[in-house]
Copies of this chain bind each other. A is one copy, B any other.
Amino acid sequence: VRFDSITIKDIAKALAVSKSTVSRALQNAADIRPETKRLILEYAEKYKYRPNLMASSLKEGRSYSIGVVVSEIANPFFSQVIDGIESIAYKNGYRVIITQSRESPEREMINVEHLCSHSIDGLLISLSSATTDLAYLKKWQAKGLPMVLFDKISKEIKTHTVVVNNSVGAYDATECLIRRGYKNIAHLTAPPFLSITRERLHGYKEALLRHSLPFDKGLVRYVQHGENIEQEVKDALQSLFDQALKPEAILCATDRTTISCHELLEAQKERFGDVALAGFSNSSLFNHFPNNAVIVQQPAFEIGQRAFELLLQLLESKTEVEKFETKVLAAKLIVRN
């Protein structure tokens, strides 16, 4: 702020009172003469006084802003989460600083450092798919930075978390495919070390088991979700369909794989034939999916809300929080006629 804005000092000078009196008036303090207060508030209003929040933050030792790290804001799941966060944060007087990791552990770390040196009061983070070393996060946590993990979480970090019931979501979608008569169901998923991968894989397996279908490792493909994810999905599909026993249906574990998979199946109908598609997605794209597609939609907005609420608990707790909560939300299965 280089631009001229009126300060408490200015008001004090203009009205020939002390800075403290002005400060008191502005804060609705009790011990102030109504007349004085009126004068000050009028002047402040007239000259559009805005408190310098940097100064108060410095004084108060908190900034009333929280940091958010997601992999991509363009991903509809995350934009919905962010909407959820903001919806509650603003009401509570917090502002939200959004950053993107683009699935890069380095950028993730840089963002967190950046946010922290800019004095955020707390952090909401969904880890990048490639993050394995959590030392840097633990460091900040040890320094006392309150944080809540959501979506892609890690059990290494002891704190509140918000996730969806990935296992049940995957189970339901798989079961839906099975009920339609598909037996040979492939699974396209994220890297194996992620919790979402394990949980969704687990749901997939359970559904097969329950319906007495064999689990075949050869039908599972792990997609790195790197720079060129389209190519990765393409390769995965190729290798699936190069096998003797071709998949009749595919369950995709992530938004990106669901969409890429749909596009590829669409584009090369001759090659792949009529394959049923099921997948996790929060994209409005699903309107364009084939009518028989099965979509697992996560309650993204609510995830954001819950995550902020939990963070608020940490922020406002007077004592060290020892017992951490894990909020598990249900995913929604979308099946059209």
List A residues at the B interface (Cβ < 8 Å).
1-5, 48, 50-55, 57-58, 61-63, 65, 72-74, 76, 79-80, 82-83, 86, 95, 97-98, 100, 113-114, 116-121, 139, 143-146, 263, 266, 285, 287-288
In the complex with contacts A143-B5, A263-B287, A63-B54 CB distance below 8 A:
yes
In the complex with contacts A50-B117, A55-B58, A118-B53, A74-B63 CB distance below 8 A:
no
Residue with the greatest number of chain B CB neighbours at <10 A, chosen from A76, A144, A266: A144
Chain B minimum-CB-distance residue to A97:
B97
Instruction: Decide: B143 and A3 in contact? CB cutoff 8 A.
Output: yes
Instruction: Decide: A4 and B51 in contact? CB cutoff 8 A.
Output: no
Q: Which residues of B contact A51 (CB under 8 A)?
A: 117
A2: contacting residue among B1, B48, B61, B65, CB under 8 A: B61
- Cα separation A145 to B3 with both chains bound (whole Å): 6
In the complex with contacts A73-B73, A79-B73, A1-B119 CB distance below 8 A:
yes
A144: contacting residue among B2, B144, B263, B288, CB under 8 A: B2
Chain B minimum-CB-distance residue to A117:
B50
A54: contacting residue among B1, B48, B95, B119, CB under 8 A: B119
A82: contacting residue among B73, B119, B287, CB under 8 A: B73
Instruction: Decide: B53 and A119 in contact? CB cutoff 8 A.
Output: yes
Q: Which residues of B contact A72 (CB under 8 A)?
A: 79
A288 to chain B, nearest CB (A): 5
Can you name 12 A-B residue pairings with CB atoms under 8 Å?
A: A1-B120, A3-B143, A3-B145, A4-B143, A54-B58, A65-B118, A73-B74, A74-B83, A83-B100, A95-B97, A97-B97, A263-B287
Chain B minimum-CB-distance residue to A119:
B1
Residue with the greatest number of chain B CB neighbours at <10 A, chosen from A50, A73, A118: A118
Instruction: Decide: A74 and B65 in contact? CB cutoff 8 A.
Output: no
Chain B minimum-CB-distance residue to A51:
B117
A15 to chain B, nearest CB (A): 21
Chain B minimum-CB-distance residue to A1:
B119
A1: contacting residue among B3, B62, B86, B97, CB under 8 A: B62
- Cα separation A215 to B93 with both chains bound (whole Å): 52
Q: Which residues of B contact A80 (CB under 8 A)?
A: 74
Instruction: Decide: B116 and A50 in contact? CB cutoff 8 A.
Output: yes
Given contacts A73-B74, A86-B100, 14 further A-B contacts (CB under 8 A): A1-B61, A1-B120, A3-B144, A3-B145, A4-B143, A52-B117, A53-B117, A54-B58, A54-B63, A55-B58, A74-B80, A97-B97, A285-B285, A285-B288
Q: Which residues of B contact A52 (CB under 8 A)?
A: 58, 117, 119
In the complex with contacts A57-B54, A263-B287, A1-B73 CB distance below 8 A:
no
A218 to chain B, nearest CB (A): 30
A121: contacting residue among B1, B53, B117, CB under 8 A: B1
Q: Which residues of B contact A98 (CB under 8 A)?
A: 73, 98
Residue with the greatest number of chain B CB neighbours at <10 A, chosen from A2, A97, A143, A144: A2
Q: Which residues of B contact A117 (CB under 8 A)?
A: 50-53
